[in-house]
């Protein structure tokens, strides 16, 4: 009896993420890190602390601790899912930061400020985790990407208090929060476009089925030998 050999299993080559996939979550993470320190200033009481009547301890707990704790909860999520579904992680992260910015911009009490800062932290942590995961999985120029992102992150953290102080002293702390919205919208559009491009590239890279068909065509069974 003639037996058709089984079709070998289809294997796909392991391909690391492309460098351009880092741009979406990376931009969202940098905006979030900027928002982390923008409510503070290096000398004296910040405009936000003064306008809301917060003590030094209250400003620390409400403005910083809530952000950092929330970010620590979502960094592992970004690390686990960042390479599998970067767009699915980045877009909700941007939305969290967006709504957090709105709450902080229109807050009149420390409780609402804490909620807004926690939302900002949730989004920043997820985007940062996804960015780190993508950089670690990138096969080409990994060190360059890591160095550039680390330098930009440090720059955002250091420049935010200076920029925030200048703008807040001139027009109030709410404006500096609302000024982040256009940048968040740009990050949202970039992430959506990169997600579509990544999906299209994955479909094009799918390998064809060996021999054109997964199974042999039906036909008569060939017997050898006789009664």
Cβ within 8 Å of residue 116, ≥6 positions away? 99, 100, 101, 102, 103, 104, 107
pLDDT, residue 227, reads 44
pLDDT, residue 214, reads 52
- Residue 222 within any structural domain of the chain: no
Task: Give the pLDDT band (50/70/90) at residue 112.
Answer: confident
- Residue 6 within any structural domain of the chain: no
Instruction: Please count the structural domains in the chain.
Output: 1
- Residue 227 within any structural domain of the chain: no
10-19, 89-98, 168-177, 183-192: segment of lowest average pLDDT? 10-19
41, 161 contact by CB (below 8 A): yes
pLDDT in tens, 32-69: 999 999 988 887 788 888 888 888 887 788 888 999 99
Cβ within 8 Å of residue 128, ≥6 positions away? 25, 29, 32, 33, 71, 75, 78
CA 56 vs CA 63, 106, 168: distances in Å: 10, 21, 18
Task: Give the pLDDT band (50/70/90) at residue 97.
Answer: very high
pLDDT in tens, 148-184: 999 999 999 999 999 988 898 888 889 999 999 999 9
- Residue 3 within any structural domain of the chain: no
- Residue 35 within any structural domain of the chain: yes
8-17, 93-102, 128-137, 139-148: segment of lowest average pLDDT? 8-17
pLDDT in tens, 77-92: 999 998 888 899 999 9
pLDDT, residue 3, reads 57
Q: Could you tell me the pTM of the whole model?
A: 0.79
pLDDT in tens, 203-224: 666 555 555 555 555 555 544 5
Task: Supply the range of the domain harboring residue 105.
Answer: 19-200
Answer with the residue of higher pLDDT: 156 or 138. Answer: 156
- Residue 225 within any structural domain of the chain: no
27-31, 34-38, 161-165, 197-201: segment of lowest average pLDDT? 197-201
Rg of the chain over Cα atoms, rounded to whole angstroms, equals: 25
Q: What is the CATH number of the domain that holds 39?
A: 1.20.1250.20
- Residue 52 within any structural domain of the chain: yes
- Closest CA relative to residue 145, chosen from 158, 154, 136: 136
101, 33 contact by CB (below 8 A): no
């Amino acid at each position: 009896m003639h037996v058709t050999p089984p079709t070998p299993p289809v294997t796909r080559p392991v391909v690391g993420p492309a460098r351009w996939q880092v741009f979406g979550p990376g931009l969202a993470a940098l905006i979030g890190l900027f928002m982390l320190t923008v409510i503070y200033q290096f000398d004296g009481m910040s405009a936000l602390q003064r306008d809301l009547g917060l003590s030094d301890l209250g400003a620390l707990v409400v403005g910083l601790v809530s952000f950092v704790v929330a970010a620590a909860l979502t960094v592992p999520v970004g690390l686990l899912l960042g390479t599998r579904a970067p767009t699915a992680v980045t877009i909700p992260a941007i939305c969290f930061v967006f709504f957090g910015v709105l709450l902080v911009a229109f807050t009149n009490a420390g409780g609402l400020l804490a909620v807004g800062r926690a939302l900002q932290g949730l989004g920043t942590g997820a985007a940062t985790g996804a960015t780190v995961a993508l950089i670690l999985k990138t096969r080409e120029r990994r060190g360059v990407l890591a160095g550039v992102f680390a330098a930009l992150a440090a720059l955002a953290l250091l420049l935010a208090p200076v920029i925030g102080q200048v703008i807040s002293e001139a027009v109030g702390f709410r404006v500096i929060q609302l000024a982040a919205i256009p940048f968040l919208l740009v990050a949202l559009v970039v992430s959506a476009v990169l997600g579509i491009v990544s999906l299209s590239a994955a479909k094009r890279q799918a390998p064809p089925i060996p021999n054109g068909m997964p199974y042999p065509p039906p036909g008569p069974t060939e017997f050898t030998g006789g009664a």
